[in-house]
Amino acid sequence: MKGKIKFLSTAIFFIFVSCAVITVNIYFPEKDVKEAYKTLEKELMGTDQKTDEKKPAGKPESSIRFEFITSAYAQDSELVEKIADMVKKMPDVVNAYKEVGARISDIDRLRDSGVAGEGNGGLLVVREGNLSPADQKLLDLENENRKTIMKGMAKAIIRLNKQPENEANLKQVTPQAVEQFASRRRDAAKKGWWIQDASGNWSKK
């Protein structure tokens, strides 16, 4: 009798454990992810080139202020670099960035004309009129690349947290990766382009 009770107790315990859902909160550094997107665009697409303009002569800043700024931002800079390096180890994401860079002039044409705008889901959205078959194909390819990039960023953050790349973790992190990518696209948009804010409202930048 005791053996049967012990067996039943053990069986119930294992059933309970197998049905339990364990949720792991994954740390998501929003500011660093957004900066990592910018870094990756610069390195893999050739955008956001820095202009080394000479500063006007003036009183030099104190070494104390310089040291303070260096120490304050060193950790953030290292995290941005670490995230970007993780993404650069994903061949499909690197290829997606390169393809986006290769068609940027054609995509700019769609945004300049107002026919397409930057949606809050990180994708390019048709705003008005109908696209030609060729332009529709451009937009579809662009959005497929963007989806690859956003998914790659989500995977990088999961790896940074040393968590398994399972469906549950991707479901948790992907919306945040999408949000920061869309925010980056709004920041990089040119004057006159249509952009959609987080609430779904459209406006011209």
Q: What is the overall mean pLDDT for the chain? A: 83
Distance (Å, rounded) from C-alpha 182 to C-alpha 124?
10
**Predicted pLDDT at 128:** 83
Other C-beta atoms closer than 10 Å to the C-beta of 180 total 24
**Predicted pLDDT at 76:** 66
Distance (Å, rounded) from C-alpha 14 to C-alpha 35?
45
The CA–CA distances, whole Å, from 95 to 8, 38, 44, 84 equal: 55, 16, 9, 14
Best CA proximity match to 109, nearest among 89, 140, 131, 84: 131
Tokens of 193: 């382009």
User: What string of DSSP letters covers 90-143?
Assistant: -HHHHHHHHHHHHTHHHHHHHHHHTSEEE-TTSSEEE-SS---HHHHHHHHHHH
Q: How confident is the model at residue 5 (pLDDT cuts 50, 70, 90)?
A: low
Domain extent listing, the chain: 28-46+63-204
CB 32 within 8 A of CB 76: yes
pLDDT digits (tens, 9 = 90+) for 90-106: 999 999 999 999 999 99
Looking at residue 23, the DSSP 8-state letter turns out to be -
pLDDT digits (tens, 9 = 90+) for 21-72: 456 799 999 999 999 999 999 999 975 444 333 334 444 443 333 333 333 3
First-to-final CA distance of the chain: 77
Alpha helices in 46-90 (DSSP H): 63-88
Global confidence as pTM: 0.77
